[in-house]
């Protein structure tokens, strides 16, 4: 029955995957895909449906979500980079640094210092 549902409503699996990423962004993408049952869909079909829904791939969406949460943590806390990186699902502060820089053109330290300057 699930297989028939997947064939007739693949767009729902893309929506469930998006919602799962929004909630459980610290988990690996593969476990999020499996968690919503989308691992039974052809990869190309899921990719197409997710791209149509969000305008980007599931991995890009997950990275954006992690960066958004990390940026909030950088602005609102003085937690160490390692703590923030692990909290949002990256294995190292280097991953956090690269994603924030690629997304914003600023280092995490610059993001943090700009926020501190705005509060004063």
One domain, residues 71 and 98: yes
Domain holding 112, by residue range, is 61-119
Structure tokens at 74: 């950088």
pLDDT digits (tens, 9 = 90+) for 32-82: 988 888 777 788 888 999 999 999 999 999 999 999 999 999 999 999 999
CATH classification at residue 80: 1.10.10.60
Q: Which pTM does this prediction carry?
A: 0.86
Contacts of 22 (CB under 8 A, 6+ apart): 65
One domain, residues 26 and 51: yes
pLDDT digits (tens, 9 = 90+) for 5-26: 556 677 888 899 999 999 999 9
One domain, residues 113 and 94: yes
Q: Write down the H helix ranges in 58-107.
A: 58-76, 81-88, 93-104
Q: Which residue, of 39, 55, 71, is where some domain finishes?
A: 55
One domain, residues 115 and 66: yes
Structure tokens at 59: 């991995």
Cα–Cα distance measured from residue 67 to residue 30, given in angstroms and rounded to the nearest whole number: 19
One domain, residues 15 and 45: yes
One domain, residues 45 and 67: no
One domain, residues 15 and 44: yes
- What's the domain count of the chain? 2
Q: Which residue, of 55, 76, 97, is where some domain finishes?
A: 55
């Amino acid at each position: 029955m699930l297989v028939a549902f997947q064939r007739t409503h693949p767009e729902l699996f893309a929506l469930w995957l998006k919602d799962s990423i929004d909630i459980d962004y610290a988990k690996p993408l593969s476990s999020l895909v499996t968690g919503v049952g989308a691992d039974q869909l052809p990869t190309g079909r899921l990719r197409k449906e997710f791209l149509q829904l969000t305008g980007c791939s599931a991995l890009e969406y997950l990275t954006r979500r992690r960066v958004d949460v990390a940026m909030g943590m950088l602005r609102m806390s003085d937690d160490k980079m390692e703590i923030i990186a692990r909290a949002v699902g990256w294995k190292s502060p280097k991953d956090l640094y690269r994603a924030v820089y690629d997304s914003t053109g600023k280092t995490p330290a610059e993001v943090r210092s700009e926020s501190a300057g705005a509060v004063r």
